Amino acid sequence: MKREKLRVGMIGGGKDAFIGAVHRLAFNMDGLIELSCGALSVHPEVARESGELLFLPEDRIYMSYEEMIRKESQLPADKRIHFVSIVTPNFVHFAPAMMALEHGFNVVIEKPMVFSLDEAKQLQQKVRETGLMLCLTHTYTGYPMVKQARQMVAEGAFGKIRKVYVEYPQGWLSRLSEREGNAQAAWRTDPKKSGKSGCMGDIGTHAANLAEYITGQNISKLCADLNTIVEGRNLDDDGAVLLKFDQGASGVLIASQVAAGEENALRIKVYGEKGGLEWHQQEPNTLLVKWLDAPTQVYRAGSGYLGDYAKHNCRTPGGHPEGYLEAFANHYRNFATALQAKLNNETPSKESLDFPSVDDGVRGMAFIDNVVASSQSDQKWWDFKV
């Protein structure tokens, strides 16, 4: 069957938005997707100017997501969008995502997926009812060497997994930046916009998702301690969580946004009976593989000895750095190729189906709920409830 470029409508992500530009760079990288329309800001003048800067047709620059979804659904099949990309803060995720699904559009959405666990479950149910696809942009699982780590664990290279250490230190909120004109800090530290958790909701969810993705195990119990270090802040900016997993592993998760001097130092170590692995987000093309009775090995992106999933997500020969944008683009490419296959009544490859889904979004919101509940409780071990 004839294939066509997938058409996307963006919600949020206007001219001054950081993450919108990242999404556009990512979905443009493989030539599979084109931006066809947008409701790029809640401010009409910004929405209009942003659309013009992106060369969108005048009649497809919308002033609200409601207008965009409604009008796009009325266009002929060969003109209307195939999916929406939602890049607003998470308190403006649920309504446009639900409306898009109700009007027959697939969804790509930023994380955390929504504002609450209840909203997440409603979205999960709607995805199941409609049979449409939802991709959650948990960026870090898009890195090739993370996929290599997951495949090695799944194939039993390290034996039974026993221990997981994952940490995500940042330093950008070491001061009360939300009172100093920092728009990113302002909404992320506002309970009315970010939800019940700050640091753990923003970056702790990344660490938890990475741990579950690589190990193939789900968190089953936890013991959390959340802290608000900077005086005057309304949400946690630091925390630590003891973890137990459903297949017997235990672990420690640390997340902090007041680790002064740190940038985005996400790193994970996983240990089994025979050996373990170590990966650092700031040096993403390297995976350290450690053995009980042999020297440490250095696995590198772009190498011929990698597994199928890592090779599928490598873009350049070894020695050519690939990073955050490429990891983002891998999620979009996998989502797009899986959607193309579905539209053509074909079976997507297993590699194409390897992107975060609505189920990951539900677990992320459940992680936030459980961590907050555990931190507020005197109970040592808190059963992970979804």
Per-residue pLDDT of 229-262, as tens digits, reads: 999 999 999 999 999 999 999 999 999 999 999 9
Q: Provide, rounded to the nearest whole percent, the portion of the chain with pLDDT above 70.
A: 99
Q: Is 277 within 8 Å of 158 (Cβ atoms)?
A: yes
Domain 141-318+363-383: give its CATH architecture: 2-Layer Sandwich (3.30)
Q: How far is CA 20 from CA 7, 13, 77, 337, in A?
A: 16, 4, 26, 21
- Give me the CATH topology for the region 6-132: Rossmann fold (3.40.50)
**pLDDT confidence of residue 3:** 78
pLDDT digits (tens, 9 = 90+) for 182-199: 999 999 999 999 999 999
**pLDDT confidence of residue 16:** 86
- Category of 17 on φ-ψ map: left (φ > 0), alpha (ψ -120 to 50) or beta: beta
Task: Name the strand (E) or helix (H) holding 159.
Answer: none
pLDDT digits (tens, 9 = 90+) for 330-364: 999 999 999 999 999 999 999 999 999 999 999 99
Domain boundaries, the chain: 6-132, 141-318+363-383
Q: How confident is the model at residue 2 (pLDDT cuts 50, 70, 90)?
A: low
Work out the number of other CB atoms within 10 angstroms of the CB of residue 97: 28
Q: Is 282 within 8 Å of 263 (Cβ atoms)?
A: yes
To 5 degrees, how large is the angle CA 208–CA 237–CA 261?
Answer: 95
3-state SS, residue 320 = coil
Arithmetic mean of pLDDT, 265-293: 98
pLDDT digits (tens, 9 = 90+) for 113-140: 999 999 999 999 999 999 999 999 999 9
**pLDDT confidence of residue 1:** 55
**What letter does residue 348 receive in the DSSP assignment?**
P
Is 70 exceeded by the pLDDT of residue 59? yes
